[in-house]
A and B are shown apart, each in its own frame.
Chain A
Amino acid sequence: MNVKEVLDSEELTFAEKILTMKQVEPKSIKRAGEIAVVSVDFAAGQDGTTPLAIKVFEEMGGERVWDPSKILFVIDHTYPSSSVEISNLHKLMRTFARKQGIRVVEGDIIHQVILEEYAVPGMLIVGADSHTTTHGAVGAFATGIGSTELAAVMLEGKIWLKVPSTIRVCLEGSLSKGVYAKDIALSVIGEIGADGANYKAIEWTGEALSRLSIESRATLCNMSMEAGAKDAVVEYDAVTEKYLRELGRSPMAIVRSGRKAEVEDELHVECSKLEPMVAIPSRVDNVRPVREVDGTPIDQAFIGSCTNGRLEDLIEAARILRGRKVKEGVRLIVTPASRRVYMDALKLGILETLLEAGAVVTNPTCGACVGTHLGVLGEGEVAVSSTNRNFVGRMGHPSSKVYLASPATVAASAVRGAITDPREFL
């Protein structure tokens, strides 16, 4: 099997190519449906999953991890800790990491850290967090795993993966003002359903991508998980190249999906026809245009998370909030995805705009998205949120309700105190 032939093949999908190349014993080409045992280039875990992985690693008889330089622990879900019990689990992570020589990042969201510091095209990333799919934004194959699997990867550096079949989503035309990558993702999930891409890969393609930043692409790949996707990817292009150059990183391999590759389904999205969208409680695939729920009163508006807590998200929110005030009685919580995002927003004066409008700006963390701290919803409360899940009880009490939307829609809704189409303010 010749690596160059695999890379050049017009018959193989991105997933088929990369999983073929990463095999521990690369003897044959692996097609969709086949199981490949692959070497992992990078593995990560967060505070909701890693403590269990450490326990299992020890149960497996593990002493030293396979390669500490390829493992990252991130304490992001509840940071800084909000209880003694959580603090003890964080301690467990720090102690194990120190012993093994593993880096621990505290506060910044796991997927933002990997995006800012590690992910490169052609890398195989596994993360004990479902939204690991995010890193397809730079052309990596990245997928979510559980704690026991993270333990096995920490021990041996390899994992079995079934090669997924592929759904291709072609984005055509340009987004109009007030419509964002989040609206594309919600609209696609609404169309294919919460299990529409279960066990499958999503390849985001089309000329509209050339106008979407790595941050927007990260939103698309992150939300792909909400349709069940195993991985999602945007092909390497000039935008990726520029992003990596500015960060001083270079690709492991540039893997392009074959033009004649067999895909399971192909969807076309005419971006110019899209409008701001929301996912209605309590399903991510219950998606409607914002105007259909316009005026629904809210208690809380949240901008943050691995989906939409990046600089461009804060910039869009600030564009709407500049010179306006958050409605009295409504709380707007802004949680930057990382210290870098926080500092950049600070330098650009974005935080000042948000604070003047009446927002609470928290430290970087997953925060309100996971319903343990920094904005837990009370009984029957309603939130509009730039996050990725609106399941029952996700952000607080089981009777609370979450509408998912773009940061711009969240910001506009905070001003009016009710769900609002952001185009009214742009």
Chain B
Amino acid sequence: MNVIRGRAWKFGDNIDTDVIIPFKYKARTIDPRELAQHVMEGLDPDFPNKVRPGDVIVAGRNFGCGSSREQAPLAIKAAGISAVVAESFARIFFRNAINIGLPVLEVKGILEKTDSGDVLEIDLREGTVKNLSKGLTFRAAPMPDMLMEILKEGGLVNYIKKRRARSQ
């Protein structure tokens, strides 16, 4: 999971959880694959068909604002998106993404300098995002060790399982 390479999909500021995955879908299923069929539908009804495994979402400020629904990062992850890079994240979305093992990177100034379709290479350990199409390198805000460990385990489930196995 250390190096991720994928095409960018660009979105703006304040992308809320209702457009990422409307309540009407998440009310009736907890199956991530089913949720993935409607991801970002509020903004681009064709998005679930266009997205390819490994792609990266690039967004502006306050990505994932709104409800606490973990189905939002789950749907993004199940659609094949390998990471979300944004100017900033809403706090519950950020926690949820880490907890389900979806890499999220806070990178100032990225939105303006990225176009949809650019190829990005993300090094999680180094905390860098390279725009290979434009030859630019960005540095992500450092992530606390504890969160990095959860992400390395692929999420909170494995992290807790391992910790509990160790303590027994």
Q: Does A389 contact B (CB under 8 A)?
A: yes
Nearest Cβ in chain A — how far from B143, in angstroms?
12
Contact partners of B23 in chain A: CB under 8 A? 48, 77, 370-372, 394
Instruction: Determine the distance from Cα of A230 to Cα of B99 in the docked complex, in whole angstroms.
Output: 17
Stretch of A7-15, A148-156, A311-319 at the chain-chain interface = A148-156
Nearest Cβ in chain A — how far from B11, in angstroms?
13
**CB-nearest residue of chain B relative to A77?**
B27
Indicate whether A195 sits within 8 Å of B90 (C-beta atoms), given known contacts A128-B68, A145-B68.
Answer: yes
Instruction: Determine the distance from Cα of A228 to Cα of B88 in the docked complex, in whole angstroms.
Output: 12
- Please give me the 10 A-B residue pairs with the lowest Cβ-Cβ distance, nearest first: A85-B28, A146-B96, A195-B62, A146-B70, A391-B18, A148-B99, A147-B70, A130-B68, A144-B68, A391-B16
Q: Does B69 contact A (CB under 8 A)?
A: yes
Contact partners of A392 in chain B: CB under 8 A? 16, 18-19, 42-43
Contact partners of A61 in chain B: CB under 8 A? 161, 164
Q: Is the CB of B27 within 8 A of A48?
A: yes
Q: Interface of A with B (CB < 8 Å)?
A: 35, 47-49, 51-52, 55-56, 59-61, 77-78, 83, 85-86, 89, 127-130, 132, 144-149, 151-152, 155-156, 160, 162, 194-195, 198-199, 228, 230, 283, 370-372, 389, 391-394, 398
Contact partners of A194 in chain B: CB under 8 A? 14, 62, 65
Indicate whether A391 sits within 8 Å of B157 (C-beta atoms), given known contacts A52-B71, A160-B146.
Answer: no
Instruction: List 21 A-B pairs, Cβ < 8 Å.
Output: A48-B67, A52-B70, A78-B27, A89-B27, A130-B66, A130-B67, A145-B68, A146-B92, A148-B96, A149-B95, A149-B99, A152-B160, A162-B144, A194-B65, A228-B91, A230-B91, A283-B14, A372-B24, A391-B19, A392-B18, A392-B42
Contact partners of A52 in chain B: CB under 8 A? 30, 70-71, 74
Q: Which among B24, B146, B155 is the interface contact of A35 at CB below 8 angstroms?
A: B146
One digit per residue, 1 when the CB lies within 8 angstroms of any chain A CB and 0 when it does not, for chain B 80-94 equals 000000001011100
Instruction: Determine the distance from Cα of A90 to Cα of B99 in the docked complex, in whole angstroms.
Output: 24
Q: Does B133 contact A (CB under 8 A)?
A: no
Q: Is the CB of B156 within 8 A of A148?
A: yes
Q: Which among B14, B18, B28, B164 is the interface contact of A89 at CB below 8 angstroms?
A: B28
Nearest Cβ in chain B — how far from A140, in angstroms?
17
Contact partners of B156 in chain A: CB under 8 A? 148-149, 151-152
One digit per residue, 1 when the CB lies within 8 angstroms of any chain A CB and 0 when it does not, for chain B 92-118 equals 100110011000000000000000000
Interface residues of B in 30-61 (CB under 8 A from A): 30, 42-43, 61
Contact partners of B22 in chain A: CB under 8 A? 371, 393
Contact partners of A147 in chain B: CB under 8 A? 70, 96
Q: Does B77 contact A (CB under 8 A)?
A: no
Q: Is the CB of B157 within 8 A of A60?
A: yes
Contact partners of B61 in chain A: CB under 8 A? 195
Known: A199-B91, A389-B67. 17 other contacts (CB 8 A): A49-B70, A61-B161, A61-B164, A77-B27, A128-B68, A129-B68, A130-B92, A144-B68, A146-B70, A148-B96, A148-B99, A148-B156, A160-B146, A195-B88, A228-B90, A228-B91, A371-B22
Q: Does B29 contact A (CB under 8 A)?
A: yes
Instruction: Determine the distance from Cα of A228 to Cα of B18 in the docked complex, in whole angstroms.
Output: 15
**CB-nearest residue of chain B relative to A46?**
B68
Contact partners of B92 in chain A: CB under 8 A? 130, 144-146
